[in-house]
A and B are shown apart, each in its own frame.
Chain A
Amino acid sequence: MEIIPLGDSALVVRVREQFEDAPEERLNEVLRVFQLLQRAAIPGVVELAPAYTSVAVFFDPVAVLKSNGAANGVFDELATRIRSTIVPASRRHPRRTAANAPRLIEIPICYDAEFGFDLDRVAEHTKLSGPEIINLHSTGEYRVACIGFVPGFTFLAGLPRNLATPRRDVPRKEIPPGSVGIGGAQTGIYPLRSPGGWNLIGRTPLKLFDPAKNPPTLLHPGDRVRFRAITREEFESLKQ
């Protein structure tokens, strides 16, 4: 495990170097570190950002100095606190990787051509028919590897390999909220109107990001996700 400065007010705890070799395990390791750091509430730490193989720790150097003193400098002081938070816990529970059992969330998706602008493109690339693509996509189980790009945008791991399709050469300027896409070996949902280059194959009627709620996102890092194919009528009745 490496701890590297990400500027003077953040650092990256690199838990692993690789992700694709064992996505499920890597994700559990990263989430364990994330949860331990969250619970430790180290003075001066402002927020955390987990991603595939790392957890970034954002901090206020002035607050770190005031609460911990920093004979060895702000960074070393904080890095020591972080190591002592993470390491003993993993020694205590060598086999327990994730602290909390992940939730399973079902997301309804309408795969009608009206929403799946790029189903043909995916079909051409994967040599699969439309119904085959929909069937494969909606029977798999995914996990939220991380959230970023825009608030609530979920990067989901677990896309069946034969559905992988390269991103569009020219990104769309505006993608409707709720659009479900495939970008390379990943799948994800656009929660907000935004630009984007992924191949769109359907749309969910659920609201994935709502700033009026706390927490503001439906999905959290580590959640298990299943997709359920729904009709156009169901889409309308579920629309939020």
Chain B
Amino acid sequence: MTAIVQRAGFLTSVQDLGRTGFRQLGVSTSGALDSFALRVANLLVGNDEGAAGLEITLGGLQLRFEDERIVAWCGGEFDVQIGSRALPAGHVAQLQSGDGLKFRRAQFGCRCWLAISGGIDVPVVLGSRSTDLRANFGGLEGRTLRGGGVVPLARRPGSLPPPTPISSWAGPHDWVSPAKRYPVLRFIRGVDWSRFDDATMKRFTISEFSVSPDSDRMGVRLEGPELKRKHETDLISEAVAPGTIQVPPSGKPILLLGDCQTIGGYPKIAHVITVDLAVAAQLRAGDGVRFSEVSLEDAHCLLLERERDLDRFRIGVSLQRS
């Protein structure tokens, strides 16, 4: 029970909802950079929300399936094809043994998440199937997919009525296609917000920043107006989190993502709110991005609202099946 990797693409890795519980020992979260997209994709194919799927960066992945599987994907604006048929984001497809699945380059956006019924069957390491690409463990032997390799798949979940080859219905648009042409990330003030001068605070919220090519799963490096602190004093290192925007002495901010280190010593100007990490995960080199302040209470309300909507969606999906 495997899928054959005909082409691995630019950077494809096995990810689930991330690794927790070992942060005090320096172990990062890893996991799908947009864990919500993976949860939605998993629900669409009848998996547990936490099943391992594939995170595909910039496309190029080509798989061939050796048995029947149900698949769905969520993420950037990719052209995905099963043979000559298009599989749009958030639709559910039934694949037959021998079918191929091809992810072409994204028109915009950076990543997408593919869920396959049964989930990807790699060993659980420190509580997760996610690949830690910095420390090289978890997933497929701690590395990205390689052309000519295989992706081990777990037994398919119980009997699902075979849908039409590609469903006419899809998940909510905002969830299955979170990439934005003009992304604005909402943030709450950072732990070190008041260490920056007034002009910098203003600059941070009114300027457009552009995504630098040396961005990766650790962080989105941003170019733009220089962000300056009032005093260049050394800070005592403390925890950082995915979503933290830190400002190194260069004045160029770095928005940390799921593979970020656990502890850092740079001042933290802001934190992107959890619901907008879905948008942040779609940023790619050259994209423009802006920031807009919200309150912590609003950040929590948005998250709770999304969770309630997902509860309803879960019921909707199960009705589609019955």
Contacts and interface: CB of A to CB of B under 8 A. Distances in A.
B24 interface: yes
B278 to A, nearest CB: 14
Interface string B119-144: 00000011000001011111000000
B48 to A, nearest CB: 17
Interface residues of A, number: 49
Contact of A49 (B23, B135, B274): B23
Contacts of B188: 5, 7-8
A105 interface: no
B246 to A, nearest CB: 11
Contact of B238 (A56, A73, A151, A152): A56
A82 interface: no
A73 B299 CA distance: 11
A146 B132 contact: no
B61 interface: no
Interface string B14-25: 000000111111
Interface in B228-245: 236-241, 243-244
B168 to A, nearest CB: 32
B24 A221 contact: yes
Given A8-B299, A62-B304, A215-B25, A49 B125 contact: no
B42 interface: no
B272 interface: yes
Max chain A Cβ within 10 angstroms of own Cβ: one of B134, B243, B264, B296: B296
B268 A6 contact: yes
Given A9-B241, A52-B236, A220-B25, A214 B126 contact: yes
A212 B268 contact: no
Nearest to B256: A7
A8 to B, nearest CB: 4
A151 B27 contact: yes
Given A73-B297, A148-B263, A48 B138 contact: no
Nearest to A16: B236
B303 interface: yes
Contact of B191 (A4, A9, A221): A4
A111 interface: no
Nearest to B186: A8
B303 A147 contact: no
B263 A49 contact: yes
Max chain A Cβ within 10 angstroms of own Cβ: one of B243, B300, B303, B304: B300
Given A47-B23, A149-B261, A151-B26, A12 B238 contact: yes
B261 A73 contact: no
Contact of B135 (A18, A146, A211): A211
Contacts of A214: 126
A102 interface: no
Interface of A: 4-10, 12, 14, 18-19, 34, 46-54, 56, 58, 61-62, 65, 73-75, 146-153, 155, 192, 194, 209, 211-212, 214-217, 220-221
Given A5-B296, A7-B271, A192-B135, 12 more contacts: A4-B191, A10-B239, A47-B20, A49-B24, A50-B24, A53-B236, A58-B23, A73-B300, A148-B26, A148-B264, A214-B126, A216-B126
27 contacts: A5-B188, A8-B243, A8-B271, A8-B274, A10-B239, A12-B238, A18-B236, A52-B236, A52-B238, A56-B23, A56-B239, A58-B20, A61-B303, A65-B304, A73-B296, A74-B300, A146-B237, A147-B262, A148-B261, A148-B263, A149-B261, A150-B134, A153-B26, A211-B135, A214-B126, A220-B25, A221-B24
